């Protein structure tokens, strides 16, 4: 009898503002989907509640959205719809005051008030539909108030059963609300043990350490995996990785106009372009990569026009046929980049967990990361940390583990020449 499975399935409701792939900005969206699927697979009953943003109407996955109910609260009617997304039941609350008639998840002046209103509307929906979940799980500053409202306004007014779980995906935003949720939740988590340690001194967290746990994020291999990825020109496994990656490289080069001669190593970045992500290191890496005879590709969603302008300047100084900079949020292109690249670069200044390094390993690309937060917990170099490599491979510290096994343990084994290339890249990128 495993200690982690309870005899009775639990009813768990996530209240979130992102969910991959229909409303994803970054890792929060991935994790809301993947944790829901994983917990549902353990036999629990999982539901997700999202705002019904107007941009969802364009989603091919939501064409058969069903009407669920209408409830009145907060001075207006709320229509609720549902759909099954990635095998999980999702409810969409449509506030009839047009609050979520937005073209993106974030970016309105009143994001804070809108998400507080949504958090309360989600609790009201549970109350008015006689739901008594065992757990209400809220995420980051955006739905942090769900925990506070649950205990201050709803617990004594009918929503007696639920307990609150709160997860910090990034403490950098909305510390005050995060502090409130830390106080009101019964369990609080963050997305890696290292990040839990790094933020333990923060006033929003420090008085609540007894209920605070660093639980490492994962990726869902059914969503991120080259064996069954419809965005790739050729699906591949560890056995067919050479052909699969070659086909992806060719498709990517054609798409982005990387016409430089020869099949050069490819170094890639898939990232929001914010200071957190190590902009200056990304820029250095682009220059080093090209000057050492490799190719560089960046897929960046850039909310800050100043940062984007800096990249424009850099791109102009590089040989266009060996470096491509693509400024957009583009899910299909991101898959192609992970598959095409030999190295995925993640030089974040801080990183609560980070998913791109995990995706890279899944697609047979070597992650090259700064040692911080979840990057430290998920990536290490077998050449420099043989004891950890042995432990990960065999469950015991055997310093004799051969360094050519893999650089990143989840990636298919590299050939000696690939290892040489990877080490050269690492030296070029990190040794600067
Ligand atoms: P964060 O949540 O801080 O953005 P993570 O590494 O946790 O960083 O998650 C990033 C997720 O968003 C990954 O799934 C990554 O592939 C995706 N992503 C980031 N930037 C882009 C982009 N420009 N286009 C498509 N996907 C992106």
Helix (H), strand (E) at residue 143: helix 140-149
Boundaries of domain holding 238: 226-430
Do 186 and 242 lie in a common domain?
no
Residue from 21, 26, 352, 374 to probe ligand 1 pocket by mutation (most atoms less than 8 Å from CB): 26
On the question of pLDDT at 429 being above 80, the answer is: no
Residue 209 lies in a domain: yes
* Residue 308 CB–ligand 1 contact under 6 Å: no
Do 125 and 101 lie in a common domain?
yes
Here the ipTM equals 0.99
Residue 221 lies in a domain: no
On the question of pLDDT at 218 being above 90, the answer is: yes
Do 175 and 255 lie in a common domain?
no
Do 34 and 79 lie in a common domain?
yes
How many whole angstroms from its chain centre is CA 305?
23
Do 378 and 330 lie in a common domain?
yes
Residue 129: pLDDT band (50, 70, 90) is very high
On the question of pLDDT at 311 being above 90, the answer is: no
Q: Which pLDDT does position 309 carry in this prediction? A: 85
Average pLDDT, stretch 264-279?
95
Residue 397: pLDDT band (50, 70, 90) is low
The answer to whether the bond into 21 is cis (omega within 30° of 0) is yes
Do 241 and 170 lie in a common domain?
no
Share of the chain above pLDDT 70, in %: 89
* Residue 270 CB–ligand 1 contact under 6 Å: yes
On the question of pLDDT at 302 being above 50, the answer is: yes
Residue 282 lies in a domain: yes
Residue 115 lies in a domain: yes
Show the CA angle centred on residue 217, arms to residues 59 and 343, nearest 5°: 85
Residue 2 lies in a domain: no
Q: Which pLDDT does position 398 carry in this prediction? A: 52
Token pair, residue 231, equals 């965005």
* Residue 274 CB–ligand 1 contact under 6 Å: no
On the question of pLDDT at 247 being above 90, the answer is: yes
On the question of pLDDT at 267 being above 60, the answer is: yes
Q: Which of 77, 49, 81, 51 is nearest to 68 (CA)?
A: 81
Burial 283-312 (b: 16+ CB within 10 A, else e): bbbbbbbbebebbbbbbbbbeeeebeebbe
Do 208 and 266 lie in a common domain?
no
Shortest-distance Cα residue to atom 9 of ligand 1: 27
Average pLDDT, the chain: 89
- Chosen domain end from 190, 214, 238: 214
Residue 4 lies in a domain: no
Residue 24 lies in a domain: yes
Shortest-distance Cα residue to atom 19 of ligand 1: 271
Q: What's this model's pTM, rounded to 2 decimal places?
A: 0.89
- Chosen domain end from 188, 214, 240: 214
Do 70 and 198 lie in a common domain?
yes
Helix, strand and coil content of the chain, in percent to the nearest 5, comes to 40, 20, 40
* Residue 301 CB–ligand 1 contact under 6 Å: yes
How many domains are contained in the chain?
A: 2
Q: Which pLDDT does position 315 carry in this prediction? A: 82
Do 116 and 235 lie in a common domain?
no
Do 60 and 207 lie in a common domain?
yes
- Chosen domain end from 180, 214, 248: 214
CATH number for the domain that contains residue 179: 3.40.50.2000
> Which of 53-57, 273-277, 311-315 has the least mean pLDDT?
311-315
Q: Which pLDDT does position 260 carry in this prediction? A: 81
* Residue 68 CB–ligand 1 contact under 6 Å: no
**Helical pair 140-149 and 111-128, crossing angle rounded to 10 deg:** 40
Residue bearing tokens 């001669």: 261
Residue 368 lies in a domain: yes
Residue 428: pLDDT band (50, 70, 90) is very low
Q: Which pLDDT does position 6 carry in this prediction? A: 53
Q: Cα of 166 to ligand 1 centre, how many Å?
A: 21
Do 166 and 240 lie in a common domain?
no
Do 188 and 231 lie in a common domain?
no
pLDDT per position as a tens digit, 158-187: 999 999 999 999 999 899 999 999 999 999
């Amino acid at each position: 009898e495993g200690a982690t499975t309870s005899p009775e399935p639990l009813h768990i409701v996530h209240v979130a503002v992102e969910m991959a792939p229909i409303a994803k900005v970054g890792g929060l969206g991935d994790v809301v989907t993947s944790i829901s699927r994983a917990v549902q697979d353990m036999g629990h009953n999982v539901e997700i509640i999202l705002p019904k943003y107007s941009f969802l109407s364009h989603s091919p996955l939501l064409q058969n959205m069903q009407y669920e109910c209408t409830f009145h609260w907060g001075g207006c009617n709320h229509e609720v719809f549902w759909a099954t997304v990635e095998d999980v039941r999702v409810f969409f609350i449509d506030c009839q005051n047009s609050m979520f008639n937005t073209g993106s998840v974030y970016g309105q002046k009143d994001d804070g008030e809108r998400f507080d209103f949504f958090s309360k509307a989600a609790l009201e929906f549970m109350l008015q539909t006689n739901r008594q979940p065992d757990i209400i799980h809220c995420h980051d500053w955006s739905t942090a108030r769900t925990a506070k409202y649950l205990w201050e306004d709803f617990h004594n007014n009918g929503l007696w059963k639920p307990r609150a779980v709160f997860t910090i995906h990034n403490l950098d935003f909305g510390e005050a609300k995060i502090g409130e949720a830390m106080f009101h939740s019964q369990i609080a988590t963050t997305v890696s043990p290292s990040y839990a340690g790094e933020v333990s001194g923060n006033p929003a967290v420090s008085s609540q350490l007894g209920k605070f746990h660093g639980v490492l994020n994962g990726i869902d291999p059914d969503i991120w995996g080259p064996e069954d990825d419809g965005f790739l020109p050729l699906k591949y496994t560890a056995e067919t990785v050479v052909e699969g990656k070659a086909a992806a490289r060719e498709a990517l080069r054609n798409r982005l106009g990387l016409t430089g001669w020869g099949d050069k190593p490819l170094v890639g970045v898939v990232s929001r372009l914010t200071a957190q992500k190590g902009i200056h290191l990304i820029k250095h890496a682009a220059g080093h990569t090209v000057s050492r005879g490799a190719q560089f590709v960046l897929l960046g969603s850039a909310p800050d026009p100043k940062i984007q302008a800096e990249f424009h300047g850099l791109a102009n100084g590089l040989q266009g046929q060996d470096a491509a900079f693509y400024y957009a949020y583009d899910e299909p292109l991101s898959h192609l980049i992970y598959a095409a690249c030999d190295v995925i670069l993640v030089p974040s200044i801080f990183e609560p967990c980070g998913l791109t390094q995990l995706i890279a390993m899944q697609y047979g690309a070597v992650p090259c990361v700064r040692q911080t937060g979840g990057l430290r917990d998920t990536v290490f170099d077998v050449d420099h940390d043989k004891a950890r490599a042995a432990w990960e491979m065999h469950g015991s510290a055997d310093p004799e583990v051969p360094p050519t096994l893999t650089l990143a343990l989840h990636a298919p084994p590299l050939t000696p020449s690939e290892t040489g290339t990877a080490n050269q890249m690492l030296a070029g990128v990190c040794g600067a």
